């Protein structure tokens, strides 16, 4: 019954360890550059890979049986917890295992803004990136009666947050990462969408516009759209002209991004309890004020086995691993530290996590399916549906054992996402509740996927079969040639970015979105021969496909064109100031 979602793919129930035949000293990254990154990012000084995995398993387990099972999973790199989890759990360092947060609500007062700045400083000091909603700050030029002066507007305050981010070194070698969001109906929306038409201003921010259904309908109808703040109208603007300016800035400068805020809230399991206005810096976690994202990805390449001359997917092992992973990650919520008390309260009341996948493209290649094919999308859909179902089943079991998340109520059953779950899971939630309000999220996984011998990251295709990368070593920077995992390990020449159209990317994301309760961080690569009209169509199609957001990468744009003038430009391994830096040479995103 558990395998009903995989009617097309042969099951294998043989012992995985017998098939892999790996000794302990063969575990961990086998490629030099990948081992270097894994050691630098995710291990303590002078700590071996096996010692790090033992530390991680001991700090996240419930019992000796669970510790052994989870240790085997992470030693074999079948599950890659986010870099923060790997480096923080069981560590003597006083840092959080959470990658990123969304700020407290920033109200329209100096005290609220400065409180948010102080909270951001503490969060980044502890190693967290932050998303902000600036929509509640009054627009530029509004009269401040108490001071008999004019307001400077939300964009002016973004520079304050940017300066704080620039000066605070967070845990490890990475500076804080930030996402700024503004609603499409804010009177300062034009200033906001133009604020990053440069290479040297607000460099620590990604920016995104929170687009509503009402606005998109006005765009399609070529109607005027009302700008407003605090129930006061600030006049009308032509929706199509505003949309074209957003698209033109994205076409040239890669920002702002677009998140479909109404879709996010309609599909939110906790829509009865919270309103979401912002996301984490990479966009895969829409979160309420003080929300935090606990991330990890299942490495699909480690479930590919060879039997009778062909590659198969070990579905039985995939299903068996998920409960151990959910149990371990649930323990992180109670055992890590939090930068702020409000963040801890929010995390423990809702017990969110975001488990996703990585290595999808390599896995498809090994099994003879093209990334762009209907068959490939069906396999990806079946994988994420099975992950969703088994994760939710595991969380119901934990609720029966440990209790549901504190803010659980019967209103949970009325959510659109919950209504799409199989009947047995809905029955289980009705009877026992559920331990975690949200469970699924697909992150970009740039660093953890590279550290796992350069498997294709998240649900992205490989950028190239091989490329050069600068690696920091004790002897200084070293340029090494890196090969795609499937090409190196299996001799499989799969589709790469240049082989795919924007439509191929969009269809893959759309195939998986219905099974993801948070969101998907996915880059839609745009080739040089794509017209601006076609480019705009990507975002409209994303809205029509009920995606929660759309991100594109166009190397020919002004920002990446400038960067590409320097041969071999690479994102530094320190990830200095990068919320989600897209490498102009490889197209990959360096996010954990």
Active site residue 580: no
Distance of CA 170 to the CA centre of its chain: 19
Active site residue 282: yes
- Dihedral in degrees, nearest 10, Cα atoms 177, 469, 81, 127: -30
Measure the CA–CA gap between 381 and 154, rounded to whole angstroms. Answer: 40
Measure the CA–CA gap between 110 and 90, rounded to whole angstroms. Answer: 39
Active site residue 280: yes
Measure the CA–CA gap between 99 and 177, rounded to whole angstroms. Answer: 10
Residue 87 · residue 172 · CB < 8 Å:
yes
Distance of CA 201 to the CA centre of its chain: 24
Q: Active-site residue among 34, 100, 195, 282?
A: 282
Measure the CA–CA gap between 198 and 192, rounded to whole angstroms. Answer: 13
Distance of CA 473 to the CA centre of its chain: 28
Residue 332 · residue 60 · CB < 8 Å:
yes
- The H or E element that residue 356 is part of is strand 354-358
The answer, yes or no, to whether the previous bond of 256 is cis (omega within 30 of 0) is: yes
Helix (H, G, I), strand (E, B) or coil at 549: strand
3-class secondary structure per residue, 451-463: HCCCCCCCCCCCC
Q: Active-site residue among 284, 460, 590, 592?
A: 284
Identify which of 294, 282, 443, 292 has the alpha carbon closest to the alpha carbon of residue 357. Answer: 443
Identify which of 563, 498, 538, 466 has the alpha carbon closest to the alpha carbon of residue 258. Answer: 538
Catalytic residues, by residue number, are: 280, 282, 284
């Amino acid at each position: 019954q558990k395998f009903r979602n995989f009617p097309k793919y042969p099951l294998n129930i043989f012992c995985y360890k017998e098939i892999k035949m790996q000794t302990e000293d063969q575990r961990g990254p086998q490629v030099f550059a990948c081992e270097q990154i894994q050691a630098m990012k995710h291990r303590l000084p002078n700590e071996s890979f096996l010692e790090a995995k033992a530390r991680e398993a001991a700090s996240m387990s419930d019992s000796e049986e669970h510790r052994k099972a989870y240790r085997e999973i992470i030693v074999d790199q079948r599950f890659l917890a986010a870099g923060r989890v790997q480096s923080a759990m069981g560590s003597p360092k006083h840092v959080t295992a959470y990658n990123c947060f969304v700020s407290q609500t920033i109200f329209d007062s100096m005290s609220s803004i400065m409180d948010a700045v102080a909270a951001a400083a503490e969060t980044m000091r502890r190693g967290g990136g932050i998303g902000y909603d600036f929509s509640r700050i009054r627009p530029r030029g509004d009269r401040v009666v108490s001071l008999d002066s004019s307001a400077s507007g939300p964009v002016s305050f973004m520079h304050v947050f940017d300066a704080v981010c620039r000066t605070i070194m967070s845990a490890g070698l990475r500076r804080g990462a930030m996402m700024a969001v503004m609603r499409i109906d804010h009177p300062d929306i034009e200033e906001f969408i133009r604020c990053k038409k440069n290479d040297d201003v607000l460099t620590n921010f990604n920016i995104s516009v929170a687009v509503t259904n009402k606005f998109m309908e006005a765009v399609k109808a070529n109607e005027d759209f009302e700008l407003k703040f605090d129930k006061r109208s600030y006049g009308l603007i032509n929706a199509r002209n505003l949309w074209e300016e957003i698209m033109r800035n994205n076409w040239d400068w890669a920002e702002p991004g677009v998140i479909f805020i109404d879709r996010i809230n309609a599909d939110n399991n906790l829509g009865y309890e919270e309103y979401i206005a912002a996301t984490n810096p990479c966009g895969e976690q829409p979160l309420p004020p003080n929300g935090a994202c606990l991330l990890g990805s299942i490495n699909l390449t480690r479930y590919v086995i060879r039997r009778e001359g062909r590659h198969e997917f070990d579905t039985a092992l995939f299903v068996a691993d998920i409960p151990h992973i959910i149990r371990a990650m649930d323990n992180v919520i109670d055992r890590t530290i939090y930068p702020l008390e409000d963040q801890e309260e929010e995390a423990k009341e809702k017990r969110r996590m975001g488990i996703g996948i990585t290595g999808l493209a390599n896995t498809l290649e090994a099994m003879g399916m093209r990334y762009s094919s209907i068959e490939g999308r069906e396999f990806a859909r079946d994988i994420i549906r099975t992950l969703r179902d088994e994760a939710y089943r595991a969380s119901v079991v934990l609720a029966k054992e440990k209790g549901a998340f504190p803010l659980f109520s019967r209103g949970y059953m009325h959510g659109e996402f919950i209504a799409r779950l199989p009947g047995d899971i809905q029955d289980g939630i009705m009877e026992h509740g559920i331990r975690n309000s949200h469970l699924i999220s697909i992150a970009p996984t740039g660093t953890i996927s590279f550290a796992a011998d350069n498997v294709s990251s998240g649900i992205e295709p490989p950028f190239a079969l091989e490329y050069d990368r600068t690696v920091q070593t004790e002897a200084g920077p070293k340029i090494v040639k890196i090969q795609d995992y499937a090409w190196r390990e299996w001799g499989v020449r799969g589709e790469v970015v240049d082989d795919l159209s924007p439509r191929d990317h969009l269809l893959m994301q759309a195939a998986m979105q219905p099974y993801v309760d948070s969101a998907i961080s996915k880059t839609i690569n745009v080739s040089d021969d794509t017209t601006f009209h076609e480019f705009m169509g990507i975002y409209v199609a994303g809205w029509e496909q009920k995606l929660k957001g759309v991100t594109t990468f166009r190397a020919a744009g002004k920002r990446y064109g400038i960067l590409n003038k320097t041969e071999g430009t690479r994102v530094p391994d320190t990830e200095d100031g990068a919320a989600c830096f897209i490498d102009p040479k490889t197209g990959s995103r360096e996010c954990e």
